Every structure is written in C-alpha cells, then in structure tokens.
Amino acid sequence: MANFRLLFCERCKAKLNPDKAVWLEYDQRTGTYTDQPVPEEYSQGGFPFGADCARVALAEHIAAQEQSNSPSQTVQ
C-alpha cells in the first residue's frame, strides 16, 4: 500500500510534490518564513513551499530583517 501525503504551498496554495517541497520555518519576530533556525519561543513550526514561492518568502525574510536592523528615523 502506498503512503501518500498531500501538501500545498503555504504561499500560493498549489499542490506540491512532497519530495520537492521546501520546508521553511515561520519566525514570529519578523512575521516571515526562513530556512534558518528560529528560537523555539519565536517559531511557529515548518511549512511547505514550492521552490519559486520559497525564494520569494526568503527574500521577504531578509528584507524584514534588514528593516528591523536599520537605525530608527525620528522626526524632529
């Protein structure tokens, strides 16, 4: 008997081949998905993505990190 797992991309909801799915972890600090380890208290677990959507999600994570690391601008 075959063991099938049905996966859908977290971003576009397309059906995924389980052998080709990219698993990314949701980081509550940035509200984005990453392929880097996330401290347990900030992780919401792993989610499947297609390759193209994973690239977009990782770029969003990098942009969110850069934005949170930039010096704050204050209006005087």
SS3 8: strand
What value does the mean pLDDT take over residues 54-76?
Answer: 82
Q: How far apart are CA 36 and CA 60, in angstroms?
A: 13
Listed in order, strand segments (DSSP E) in 9-49 are: 15-16, 22-27, 32-34, 43-49
CA neighbours closer than 13 Å in the CB half-sphere of residue 71: 3
Query: What pLDDT score was predicted for residue 24?
Result: 98
Q: Is the pTM of this model over 0.95?
A: no
Confidence band of 4 (pLDDT split at 50, 70, 90)? low
SS3 46: strand
- Residue 61 amino acid letter: H
pLDDT at 40 exceeding the cut of 60: yes
pLDDT bracket for residue 69 (50, 70, 90): confident
